Amino acid sequence: MTDTTVAGVLPRLTRLLHDGKGVRIALFGSSTIEGVGASTPAHALPAIMQGVLAPFAPGGIKVIGHGVGGDDAEAMHARMGGMLADRPDLIVWQTGSNDPLRGGDVAAFVARTRDDLAAMRASGADVVLMDQQYCPLLETCPAFRAFYDAVHHVAAQDHVPLFTRYVRMKSWCAELGLDPVDLSPDGLHLNDRGYRLLGEALAAWLIELTGLPGGVASCYQGNGA
């Protein structure tokens, strides 16, 4: 399942929000989750998402960042247990950006990703995937397209909701008249504006998937302010 609205696709998150219960969200990945490029932690993805999602979680919400810049699939696998120890209700997994830059093997990446997705789901958490960023460094990486396709393939084959970050970032550049470096000044990592756009869009998408009334209109501002 890709970037679409389908009622019941996140059953645990939907139930908790509709029942007014507390929610724990784990953001799992590499530099995007760590917040590399943000001016302060308050401008990084976990803080932005917590602020945007808070009005939809009367029972309280905690967004926990488990990100290490430079991590590939194997490095994330090695620390997955620490993330699961936080007992998240939802896991947002950002993956596939560093593997092509390191010349990783696509087949091994797919196998590891599918195994780790199974372990995450076995914990009882809802899981969604986030694909790669639109940025100059990945655009010039010969291996990038194969890993981009691999993330989409795994999402489709394993019926995992996929947040299409790459397509959205391209659309932001076109709609707002931005160059990719306006969102990723170093060619790879987001700046404050990039994190704001990403956090608002990701939060809005999650709320839309839960079917909460009025979610997108009140949640997503879309201006990157």
Query: Is 225 a member of any domain?
Result: no
Instruction: Evaluate the CA torsion angle 178, 167, 128, 214 in order and state its sign.
Output: positive
Tell me, what amino acid is at 165? R
pLDDT for res 8 = 63
Query: Is 15 a member of any domain?
Result: yes
Q: Which range among 4-13, 28-37, 202-211 shows the weakest confidence by mean pLDDT? A: 4-13
Domain of 29, in residue numbers: 11-210
Q: Percentage of the chain with pLDDT > 90?
A: 89
Contact 128, 207 (CB under 8 A): no
Write the CB contacts of 181 (distance below 8 Å, at least 6 apart in sequence). Answer: 136, 187
Query: Is 216 a member of any domain?
Result: no
d(CA 103, CA 143): 7
Query: Is 218 a member of any domain?
Result: no
Query: Is 215 a member of any domain?
Result: no
3-state SS string for the chain:
CCCCCCCCCCHHHHHHHHCCCCEEEEEEECHHHHCCCCCCHHHCHHHHHHHHHHHHCCCCEEEEEEECCCCCHHHHHHCHHHHHCCCCCEEEEECCCHHHHCCCCHHHHHHHHHHHHHHHHHCCCEEEEECCCCCHHHHCCCCHHHHHHHHHHHHHHCCCCEECHHHHHHHHHHHHCCCHHHHCCCCCCCCHHHHHHHHHHHHHHHHHHHCCCCHHHHHCCCCCC
Query: Is 6 a member of any domain?
Result: no
Tally the domains of the chain: 1
Query: Is 2 a member of any domain?
Result: no
Give the domain CATH number at 124: 3.40.50.1110
Query: Is 136 a member of any domain?
Result: yes
pLDDT digits (tens, 9 = 90+) for 51-97: 999 999 999 999 999 999 999 999 999 999 999 999 999 999 999 99
Per-residue b/e over 155-180, b at no fewer than 16 CB within 10 Å? beeeebbbbbbbebbeebbeeeebeb
pLDDT digits (tens, 9 = 90+) for 106-128: 999 999 999 999 999 999 999 99
How big is the chain, counted in residues? Answer: 225
Q: What is the mean pLDDT of residues 37-51?
A: 97
